[in-house]
Structure 1
Amino acid sequence: MAQQPRTTDASNATNTDSKTSLTRRSYVQSLAAVATAAVSVGATGAAAADEQYEVIEAEGQTVTISDGETWENKLIDMTTGGDITVIAEGTDWTIRNVGFHGENTSGAGSATFGVADTGGATSTVENVYLGDGSDSQNGSGTGHGQTAFWVNPDHSGHIDFRNLNIQGFADNAIYASAPGNAGGGTVHIDGCFAANCYVSHYRLATEGSRVTNSSVLVDEEGFEGRGIWAWAPGTIEVDGCQLEMNGANTAIDAGANGNGTTVVVSDTDYDEGAGVAEHDGSSVQFDDDVGTDPEAFVPDGVPTSAEEAASE
């Protein structure tokens, strides 16, 4: 059965952006680890020239990606029971064609990807498979635990997230609300699939950030997190999405920590049973083409296995 949300996450009045400090700590620890255990973009193993992708065993290492660099065609073996952290900073960097094979059972409770465009330009994450999920930290049935993508507060540019498959993560699929209180950078989540993650699936905060042509599914296969969670200041745009919650949690949740925001929704179906929440003066505005008969789907181009992602 899908896990029930914790009281602190089911009640907006008592919820705080606690992952900011937790993940910032994990992020800083990862940066510290770079000095002794970093794996540079050009040295993440020895792939044969005729192989489609490089296999990397997760062993607690940190991969760093900087200005203008591309990290691609990697298959990460999570069956080792270890963790791996990928940190992308600077600007005009790219992560693509990366698949994670096996559930993250490390119990690290950190972020698999810590990303930020800190140069005010655009960076890209595309064609990534994280569909095998993670367990809960300390064995808890409702989180917290591993985050799939954490957008660092210092993010000041733009990140395009395209063709991602994220399922079963214990602490947010794409956690991109932190720049709302700091760097102010934007994100565009397009053509992505997220399912059965805890806390939320798509979490955004900044003016110009969008979720388009994407799906959320919550069923009996894992955690029950919010579909889309919008933080201040907004406005957040949602267009062409399917939010199939099966009555669990909230399809669109607007506002947090005493601060309101605005969500503009168009050409989207959401689960009326899960409904919409508006906190602290927030507003969820529906266009005429919004319906209540969602059918989540895996968008074209989204990888359905680690090998498929790595082979692109």
Structure 2
Amino acid sequence: MAQNPRTSETDSTPTTGRNSGLTRRNYVRSLAAVATATTALGGAGAVSAQGDYEVIKAQGQTITIGAGETWENKLIDMTTGKDIVITARDTDWTIRNIGFKGENTSATGTATFGVADASGGTSTVENVYLGDGSSTGNSNPNGHGQTAFWVAPDHSGHIDFKNVNIQNFADNAIYGSAPGSKGGGTIHIDSSYAANCYVSHFRLATEGSKVTNSSVYVDSSEGYVGRGIWAWAPGTVEVSNCQIAMNGQNNAIVAGANGNPTEVVVEESDYDDKAGIAEHAGSNVKLGENVGTDPEPFIPDGVPTSPEEAASGGSN
């Protein structure tokens, strides 16, 4: 199949060097602002039972998930206009069957999920719906809008993301490049869908991190138009069996940032040749077997398509 030539090293979407440092600036500010509202696992202010899941009203609270704990079967009501932050920074935790109902209009610019496995274990995020997005009020010229998932720099273990649906977020969908600057932990995004997000959709950095069996879609006329898959140093980042349809709105695959090179290996995938590939600072995108330029975006089997489906675990 035809392989599209690379574009220049000029970024087509503004961003700043937020990959370094100990924390994401807006995430820390959010934690300070809601410190008095922090709750333990399972508690979150207004909670009600509904069928097979709990309904939690977003009220500016933070929910903390500890080592070995599982947080599951929750529907987060975002129609309150308030924010909510879920943080998991220990080890061997699981986030499962979580649906967010309504657009995040809080304009706080936080990370909805701030996660890491900081003790070298394996943690899991599966069956999560964030398809209602965040409002344009969260976006600013530096791209510090609402982030769906932010992986902290001290992540040293492994996180599996599976069956995740993220759409219309004003910042990155899965911002997983920060461990490349410190902890070196790995991330595997599998059977997931991201669409119409700003800055980037899937953003990784470390050796052994990969995106598989997943799809990225940017509409030609609606939503945010961030990069498809963005690899930061040191790499190598793997992409396999993915469909990256950008409608020419931004680069499909970007390698390198902030003057630091990396490598991406792509196999069994299609990307938008109008959007193309960008290699910065001496980076290299290696196109392997069966890589084409006729992507067909899809929502993988098992990915929830509504908050209620996710919260009830109906897509598993």
After TM superposition, the score normalised by the length of structure 1 is 0.92
Measured at CA, do residues 103 and 19 of structure 1 come closer, stay the same or move farther in structure 2, by a change above 3 Å?
farther
How far apart are the structure 2 equivalents of 1:260 and 1:111? Answer: 26
- 1:137 is displaced (CA, Å) by 4.1
1:302 maps to 303
Query: 1:37: how far off?
Result: 1.2
- Within 5 A, what are the aligned runs for 1:174-193? 174-193=174-193
Does the Cα contact within 8 Å between 2:139 and 2:170 map onto a contact in 1?
A: no
Distance 1:22 1:234 in 2: 20
Which residue in 1 is equivalent to 2:263? 262
CA RMSD of aligned residues (A): 2.0
The one-character-per-residue Cα deviations of 1:38-95 (angstroms, maximum 9, x if unpaired) are 12113235544x7311001111000000100111000001011000000001100000
Q: CA deviation at 1:250?
A: 0.1
State how far apart, in whole Å, the 1-side matches of 2:260 and 2:85 are: 31
> Can you list the C-alpha shifts for 1:256-308, whole angstroms capped at 9, x where unaligned?
00000000000000000100001111000011310110000000000000000
Instruction: Name the counterpart of 1:135.
Output: 135
Structure 1 residue aligned with 2:274: 273
After superposition, give the CA deviation of every residue in 1:5-39 in whole Å (9 maximum; x if it has no partner).
xxx9526xx85323756962333344446752112
Paired residues of 1:213 and 1:241 also in contact (CA < 8 A): yes
Kindly tell me the number of residue pairs found equivalent between the two proteins: 302
Change (3 A) 1:105 1:22: farther
Change (3 A) 1:20 1:103: farther
Partner of 1:40, secondary structure, is coil
Name structure 2 gaps, 5 residues minimum. 1-9
Q: Which residue of 1 aligns with 2:36?
A: 36
Moved more, 128-137 or 159-168: 128-137
Deviation at 1:232, TM superposition (A): 0.3
Letter in 1 for 2:264: V
Range 23-32 or range 76-85, more displaced: 23-32
**1:261 corresponds to which letter in structure 2?**
T
CA contact (8 A) 1:162 1:189 kept: yes
Query: 2:12 corresponds to which letter in structure 1?
Result: A
Please name the residue that 2:76 is paired with: 76
1:285 is matched with 286
| SS of equivalent to 1:230 | strand
Question: How far is the alpha carbon of 1:129 from its aligned partner?
Answer: 0.2
Residue type of the partner of 1:98? I
Asked if the contact 2:245/2:271 (under 8 Å) is kept, the reply is yes
Answer with 25-34 or 190-199: which moved more: 25-34
Amino acid at match of 1:172: N
Shift of 1:158: 0.4
1:216 aligns with 2:216: yes
Q: Who is 2:92 aligned against?
A: 92
Q: 1:152 to 1:141 in 2, by over 3 A?
A: closer
For 2:181 and 2:22, how far apart are their aligned partners in 1? 16
Are 1:136 and 1:146, in contact at CA under 8 Å, matched by a contact in 2? no
What TM-score comes out, normalization by structure 2 length? 0.90
Give the percent of matched residue pairs that are identical in Structure 1 and Structure 2. Answer: 69
Quick one: which of 10, 13, 29 aligns to 2:12? 10
Query: Corresponding residue for 1:4?
Result: none
**SS at 1:150's partner residue?**
strand
Aligned residue type for 1:207: E
Alpha-carbon contact 1:16-1:256 (below 8 Å) kept:
no
